[in-house]
A = this chain, B = another copy of it.
Amino acid sequence: MKSGVFYGVGVGPGDPRLLTLKAVELLKAARVVATPCAAPGQESLALAVAREHLAPGCLVLPLYFPMTKDEKKLEQGWAQALAEVCAHLDRGEDVVFLTLGDPMLYSTCLYLLQRLQKAGYGVKVVPGVPSFCAAAAAAVFPLAAGEERLALLPWPEGAPLSPSLLRAFDSVALLKVASRLDEAIAALQQAGMLEESVLVSNCGSPGEKISRELKKLAGGKEPVPYLSLILARRQKEV
């Protein structure tokens, strides 16, 4: 029997109206829709965005991807998710895997895709609107024009941001920045990017917040939501 195809589908940043027509078409025809969850029983945001388009009788398969640094637990979680997906593919059923934003950028989908490809399954990817583009749109914040260079820097942990790296770019998107806001503000200031910067939290959801005066947020005066990113650019006319 012919195996099913795995579709990694980006549902965009969270606003259901930012789904693409192609994603909606796949959702409507899907018999099996897989969706990542951080904990068993937890609602998936990607599923919430897509739910209204699911056909009656469609099977929703929640896949548990543990949020941990423990490599063994991570591997176990992924192996389990992979096995559940393969069980459907082996029965000839296509599996539509939902992922927030774009599947090729920082998604759980990547782990499954590469393992499925290695195992010889057919995989297809439907791109989605990434969160940094949605944040830029919400803030009407131009990211790059002409030959300008843009860096995407996820930054929840790890080494400090070097100002020389920032200086090699015209604009940057600092992702997952909530826990290191003061450091981000200092690095942007050193790189001459603080004047034109914006913090976007919970983009596209009812709790969306756009803060244009980052300096005032330094020192932890206000709590910053987990889903926050900073867009910044060197000051100039475009």
Rounded to whole angstroms, the CA-CA distance of A236 and B139 in the bound complex is: 36
A20 — which chain B residues lie within 8 A by C-beta? 12, 17-21, 129
Closest residue of chain B to A138 (Cβ to Cβ) is B125
The one of B128, B137, B237 in contact with A129, judged by C-beta atoms closer than 8 angstroms, is B128
How far, in Å, is A79 (CB) from chain B's closest CB? Answer: 14
A22 — which chain B residues lie within 8 A by C-beta? 15, 17-18
> Could you mark each residue 151-189 of chain A with 1 if its beta carbon is under 8 Å from any beta carbon of chain B, else 0?
111111110000001001100000000000000000000
Q: Size range of the interface on A?
A: 35 or more
B144 near A149 with CB under 8 A, answer no
Rounded to whole angstroms, the CA-CA distance of A155 and B149 in the bound complex is: 9
Rounded to whole angstroms, the CA-CA distance of A104 and B139 in the bound complex is: 10
The one of B10, B13, B111, B149 in contact with A151, judged by C-beta atoms closer than 8 angstroms, is B149
Of the candidates A24, A114, A129, the one having the most CB atoms from chain B within 10 angstroms of its own CB is A129
- The yes or no answer to A102 lying at the interface (CB within 8 A) is yes
How far, in Å, is A31 (CB) from chain B's closest CB? Answer: 20
A137 — which chain B residues lie within 8 A by C-beta? 10, 102-104, 125-127
Q: Mark out the residues of chain A between 115 and 139 whose CB falls within 8 Å of any chain B CB in the assembled complex.
A: 117, 123-130, 133-134, 136-138
A152 near B147 with CB under 8 A, answer no
A117 — which chain B residues lie within 8 A by C-beta? 140
How far, in Å, is A126 (CB) from chain B's closest CB? Answer: 6
Q: A129-B102, A133-B105 are in contact. Are A142 and B154 (CB under 8 A)?
A: no
A110 near B145 with CB under 8 A, answer yes
B128 near A133 with CB under 8 A, answer yes
12 contacts between A and B (CB under 8 A): A16-B21, A18-B22, A19-B20, A21-B24, A104-B133, A104-B143, A125-B138, A129-B129, A130-B130, A146-B154, A152-B152, A168-B168
Additional 8 contacts, C-beta under 8 A, given A107-B145, A110-B145: A10-B133, A104-B142, A125-B137, A127-B129, A127-B133, A147-B154, A147-B156, A152-B152
